[in-house]
Copies of this chain bind each other. A is one copy, B any other.
C-alpha cells in the first residue's frame, strides 16, 4: 500500500490551519477527513475545499469519526480544550501517528511545557506523538506553491520523527529533524517572534527556512 494514499484525519480541521493543510494534501491526491465539533460544519467546509480544487478527496465529519477513520492523524485543535478532545478520542488514536500543530498560548519563554508535550502525556504512550507546523501560518499553507518554507519536526523517538517528516514532506513543505518533543517549546516561542515580525514589517505570514543543509 502506498503510504502517501493513506487517509489523513485533521482534528479541528475546519479552522484556517486545518483547511490549509487539507488543501495541500488533497491537491497532491491524498484523501483527507476534516474533523469538527459538528459533522455538518465539517461537511460544508470539505465541500468548499473540494470546489476550490475540483476534487472529491476532502470529506468532513465529527472529530470522533475522523479520529476513528484516519490512518494518520494531524491535530490543529485550538489550545483551549485540545487535551480534553484528545483524551476523549484516546481509543481511536491508539497505535497511530498523531502530529500536532497546536501551540500553547501565549507561547513560552517561561519553562512551561509545550502543547505537544501535554498531548503526549495525556495520550500516555498509546500513540506516537510528534509536533510540526507550529511556525507555519495558515496563509502560507493556502498558497499551494508559495516560497519554500521549512517545518521543524519534534518527537521523542527518531522513528516517529522520521514518520512525521514523511507526512510533512508530502504537503510540499520540507520537514526538518528538530529533536525531542520538549524542543517544541522553541518552535512555539519562535512563532511568537514571527508574529512580532509580521507586525513590524506589515506582512501576514512569515515563516522560517533552515540554511546550510545539503
| Other-chain residue from B148, B186, B207 in contact with A109 (beta carbon distance below 8 A) | B186
* Interface SS majority for chain A: mixed
Task: Give complex CA distance A101, B189 in Å.
Answer: 19
Which of A14-22, A43-51, A118-126, A172-180 binds B?
Answer: A172-180
Number of interface residues of A (CB under 8 A): 40
Verify A177–B189 contact, CB threshold 8 A.
no
Which of A52-60, A69-77, A88-96, A195-203 binds B?
Answer: A195-203
Chain B residues near A190: list those with CB within 8 A. 186, 190
Knowing A186-B193, A196-B183, say if A177 contacts B206 (CB, 8 Å).
no
Chain B residues near A177: list those with CB within 8 A. 196-197, 200-201
Task: Give complex CA distance A92, B17 in Å.
Answer: 51
The yes or no answer to A210 lying at the interface (CB within 8 A) is yes
Verify B203–A109 contact, CB threshold 8 A.
no
Verify A178–B201 contact, CB threshold 8 A.
no
